Amino acid sequence: MNHCKEHYDIIVIGAGATGAGTARDCAMRGLSVLLVERFDFTAGATGRNHGLLHSGARYAVTDQESASECIKENMILRRIARHCVEETGGLFVTLPEDDLGYQKKFVESCLQAGINAEVIDPAIAIAMEPAVNKDIIGAVKVPDGAIDPFRLTTANVMDARNHGADILTYHEVTDMLMESGRVCGVELREQRTGQKFRVRSSLVINAGGIWGQRICAMAGIKVNMFPAKGALLIFGHRVNNVVINRCRKPADADILVPGDTISLIGTTSSRIPIDQVDRMDVTGEEVDVLLREGIKIAPCLAYTRILRAYAGVRPLIASDDDPSGRSISRGIVCMDHAVRDGIEGMITISGGKLMTYRLMAEWAADMACRKLGLEGRPCRTAEIPLPGSETPEPETGVRKRKSHIIELSTDQKAAQGRHGTMSAEISYNADEDDALVCECEQVSVGEIKYAIKKLHADSLINLRRRTRMGMGTCQGGLCACRAAAILRDETGNPPAALEDLASFVNERWKGMMPVAWGQTLVEAQFMTWLYRGVCGLQPHEEACECETNENADR
Amino acid sequence: MEYQIKNISPNNLEQCIKCTICTVYCPVLAVNPDYPGPKQAGPDGERYRLKNPEFYDAALKYCLNCKRCEVACPSNVKIGDIIQTARIRYDKRPVSLRDRMLASTDFMGKMATSMSFIVNTALRMPLTKSVMDLTLGIDHHRSFPAYSSETFESWMRRKAPDQSRFPRRLSYFHGCFVNYNNPALGRDFVKLMNAIGYGVSLLEKERCCGVAKIANKMVDEARRDARLNIGSIRKAVSQGRPVIATSSTCVFTIRDEYPHLLDVDNADVRDSIQLATAFINRLVDEGRVKLVFRKDYRRRITYHTPCHMQKLGWSIHSVSLLRSIPGITLVPLESSCCGIAGTYGFKKENYAYSQAIGRELFDRIIEAGVDLVATDCETCKMQIEMSTGVKVENPVTILAEALDVEATMKANGVI
């Protein structure tokens, strides 16, 4: 899976949404691209957010520029990433304790930014979304939605690869190659073997998110990132089908987003030291805050089972001393270090947010082309759909398993939702292919095989991010060992299969631990019996080295 | 932790910890790989249906509603209810004429008993069976139970001995099968209850319990019947008469399906609705009645536990009563589904599954070499008789047959 050339036009560091988007954009413009990532796609902030297709309304009052970027990208993503987006619509509700006066200013700001915000009767809002607090005194309808960051990033990476880019995951940048004051490549360490090697390039694009500060430091560049930790909770099933926001100044736990089979409440915001960004543990206080505030917008959260908790770091570039990090601009920062620091050969793209990943990529690729003297290669990412979203409707003709049942099986429908038109590549030729690996999230053997062959996955954690395997109610209790067997069969001899299984189970447990009560605790206990008691999996001191640093994500 | 202290969620699907025990106990999954099984059709599928109703899987129609999954579940998930509710809520296909006919037991019974001779003859004819198979999709292997020329209700009103002379009173929920097909069981029930000092009266009005209509998605009709039944039951209970039935499925439906599937509240009368064998056995246990049996009654029998009886947990009552008959040799029989599940097995598309589900049970019954199988469910009776050739009777009939009526009456101070 991992091979690369000696020299590239561009090396993109970081396979989050921004890095993947940048790799795609550059590759589509005909550049030779290497995308390197120290873990897996979406292992950083991309995999640890709300999955909210922002309308921009949330930023309208404080940051017009971000708001108008959001609504533009929102409309583009609905088109180019159709299979990653769910058009749920969104509400901004005013609770009795909130100031209804804010609503007017809010709506005005939205309209000014080009966001179609419409004041509606609270009764209509309650009818639209029965989970919302029945005591609301105001409601505004906005074009929010849900977006799956895993699918979005994977689709970008796949399309970059389709355009000739090479992909190296589990390769950490350990040093910058510097020659006469300019960056001319990177030194990489293969995480699994520890082997180091060098790759040269005309330009390095640093899309390392919060870790970008460290990347810059390797080139002797000083950048101050502003790490703001945000924690979220995942509920076991959908409690709402419309995004619910609280109509007030952005504060803790004021957005409830439906995402695939679950709902997410978030976020908190707390400043953390930069050296803590690899330790994202959710605290009891954060869980309390999320529940206390979450219950106000959707009272059913008081008793709905919580699957897990996770936290991400907003990769913002510090611009002032605001201690909360909220009033900071979500604006995009695209830096040519030749101009800023006098160091040629490197660009840092940061700030922004998931919603604007494509625009960030466009800016970075524009700058790269300019620097490489390749003007006149226009960005086409706003028009050309991502793989999976090509045609208006998913292709028909998927083999129906049950001849006497007129419709697709649940796992086939789920796979269509996850992979869009690409789901046609999932084989259902053998009965076994339609057997389920992950029962909670309806992932079939065929889909796992497809992910291994086509989606750059060779570990269980990779497979989870590509398919949702292990993201459901039982958090990997039943699917992990089944998927491990398929991995073995498909890849021949995967490295350290038992360690892979153990680190997968451990990662799931990390996310369950902060909310381990009620049935979630029972579930975790049951999983322990299964893996230790039935399967004989032993707890081990050192989990696979390359994954120990990986925190719990969605 | 300040919130979620009690963590008792009304979202019953969340109680599932994916242990998958239900899957092992599902009789359908064992024979039909197209059925997703209780866990996936129930709590797992519900998560997807909450996301989008289009995830409703038509294969849920294969669920027997036997509730064996619920009995097996250690986490108290109402799996069967989740599946039935999903069928009712999301399956938008219209109810077919065939399903409507099968489910409308009252209507069909009334029509058939009025011309029972012709109907019975016709239903026995291979030609009729073929025509019904081809036009309606009612499997030709099935025999409809013969319709009686006189309903049980009309017998009660016109011919039953005076019931007012007995010291205690109860109301009998006879059900459609007793009324239209097997009034003999009703007569046996009256004989038995009279012998222990209970006068039997009919409910003011009785309609089908609704089990067949629920299974065939005729929920509005089922709800109407349920409201009427509960009204009659409430009246009987308020007049001091418990309501006793001889069909385990009728009792189960009225007690346990009315509130959550049909939204008909029965909390005030639920405890007063009892199955005959459970009612009598408790009286015997408490020493309040005595049963005296004939010395010359000799039978080798076995007891089949209907699925709904398993769910009620009451087979112990039927078995205990049968055991108390001195002349009976009771052969133990493992509890498993016979496969018919009411109207399910009559449908052509289900016939093969129905028989495959019951196969082991049939073999065990034949192997047991019994004179008679006892069971509290009328459709189990049809299925086992058709598939094994062994005669099946309700325990009440067996008790009534074995009873020394005069001695029992004396022992209970009735005469």
- Residues 331-390 of chain A whose Cβ lies under 8 A from any Cβ of chain B: none
The per-residue pLDDT for range A261-299, each reduced to its tens digit, is: 999 998 999 989 988 888 889 999 999 999 999 999 999
Residue B189's φ and ψ, nearest 5 degrees, are -65, -45
Same domain for A528 and A462: yes
The per-residue pLDDT for range A348-397, each reduced to its tens digit, is: 999 889 999 999 999 999 999 999 999 889 999 999 999 999 975 544 54
Determine, yes or no, domain membership for A285: yes
Determine, yes or no, domain membership for B53: yes
Same domain for A241 and A120: yes
Task: Tell me the two tokens of residue A179.
Answer: 């020659």
- Find the mean pLDDT for residues B309-324: 97
User: What is the residue range of A244's domain?
Assistant: 82-146+226-311
The per-residue pLDDT for range B8-34, each reduced to its tens digit, is: 677 889 999 999 999 999 999 999 988
Weakest-pLDDT range from A175-189, A276-290, A495-509, B160-174: A495-509
Name the domain count of chain A. 3
B79 touching chain A per CB within 8 A: no
Instruction: Please report residues of B whose CB lies closer than 8 A to that of A409.
Output: 36, 57, 59
Instruction: Please report residues of A whose CB lies closer than 8 A to that of B18.
Output: 439-440, 473-474, 477-478, 523, 526
Among B3, B4, B40, select the one facing A439 at the smallest CB separation: B40
The per-residue pLDDT for range A2-14, each reduced to its tens digit, is: 578 999 999 999 9
What's the pLDDT at A553? 79
The per-residue pLDDT for range A29-50, each reduced to its tens digit, is: 999 999 999 999 999 999 999 9
Mean pLDDT rounded to a whole number for chain A: 90
- E strands within A171-302? 171-179, 182-190, 196-206, 225-235, 243-246, 255-259, 262-266, 270-271
What's the pLDDT at A499? 85
Determine, yes or no, domain membership for B336: yes
Same domain for A438 and A513: yes
Among B10, B39, B57, select the one facing A303 at the smallest CB separation: B10
- Find the mean pLDDT for residues B371-382: 97
- Cβ–Cβ of A517/B1 closer than 8 Å? yes
Same domain for A335 and A251: no
A541 by Cβ neighbours in 10 Å (0-12 / 13-18 / 19+) ranks as exposed
Please state, as a whole number, how many other Cβ atoms lie within 10 Å of the Cβ of residue A416: 20
Q: Which of B70, B90, B110 is the last residue of a domain?
A: B90
B175-179 long-range CB contacts below 8 Å, 24 or more apart?
B175/B208, B175/B209, B175/B245, B175/B246, B175/B247, B175/B250, B175/B378, B176/B105, B176/B106, B176/B109, B176/B208, B177/B105, B177/B145, B177/B247, B177/B378, B178/B152, B178/B246, B178/B247, B178/B378, B179/B109, B179/B151, B179/B152, B179/B153
Task: Tell me the two tokens of residue A232.
Answer: 């979220």
- Find the mean pLDDT for residues A17-32: 98
Model confidence at A408, pLDDT cuts 50, 70, 90, reads: confident
Same domain for A232 and A109: yes
Query: Over pLDDT 70: what percentage of chain A?
Result: 91
Determine, yes or no, domain membership for A58: no
DSSP H helical segments within A13-145, as ranges? 17-28, 57-60, 64-80, 101-112, 122-128
Let me know: does B3 contact A304? Beta carbons within 8 Å: no
Determine, yes or no, domain membership for A384: no
Same domain for A290 and A248: yes
> What is the spatial distance between Cα B195 and Cα B293, in angstroms, rounded to a whole number?
12
- Is the pLDDT at A404 greater than 50, yes or no? no
Strand partners, A13: A36, A206
Same domain for A240 and A215: no
Determine, yes or no, domain membership for B39: yes
What's the pLDDT at A541? 55
Taking CA atoms, what residue in B is nearest to A414? B55
Please state, as a whole number, how many other Cβ atoms lie within 10 Å of the Cβ of residue A297: 23
**Identity at B60, one-letter amino acid code:** L
Residue A413's Cα: distance from chain center in Å?
Answer: 22
- E strands within A242-394? 243-246, 255-259, 262-266, 270-271, 306-317, 332-336, 346-351
What's the pLDDT at B29? 95
User: What is the residue range of B324's domain?
Assistant: 299-402
- Cβ–Cβ of A414/B14 closer than 8 Å? no
B51: DSSP letter: H
Instruction: Please report residues of B whose CB lies closer than 8 A to that of A287.
Output: 1
Name the domain count of chain B. 2
Query: Residue B311 maps to which CATH number?
Result: 3.40.50.1860
Residue the block writes with tokens 């419309």:
A242
Chain B closest CA to A42's CA: distance in Å? Answer: 24
> What is the spatial distance between Cα B229 and Cα B120, in angstroms, rounded to a whole number?
29
Query: Residue B59 maps to which CATH number?
Result: 1.10.1060.10
Residue A268's φ and ψ, nearest 5 degrees, are -95, 175
Tell me which residue of B154, B156, B148, B195 sits closest to B172, measured CA to CA. B156
The per-residue pLDDT for range A139-174, each reduced to its tens digit, is: 999 999 999 999 999 999 999 999 999 999 999 999
Determine, yes or no, domain membership for A191: yes
> What is the spatial distance between Cα B28 and Cα A553, in angstroms, rounded to a whole number?
38
- Find the mean pLDDT for residues A174-201: 95
A260 touching chain B per CB within 8 A: yes
Among B3, B36, B44, select the one facing A302 at the smallest CB separation: B3
Q: Which of B90, B105, B122 is the last residue of a domain?
A: B90
Report the alpha-carbon angle B179-B180-B182, nearest 5: 75
What ipTM does the predicted assembly reach? Answer: 0.91
Query: Residue A278 maps to which CATH number?
Result: 3.30.9.10
The per-residue pLDDT for range A113-134, each reduced to its tens digit, is: 999 999 999 999 999 999 999 9
Q: In residues, how long is chain B?
A: 415
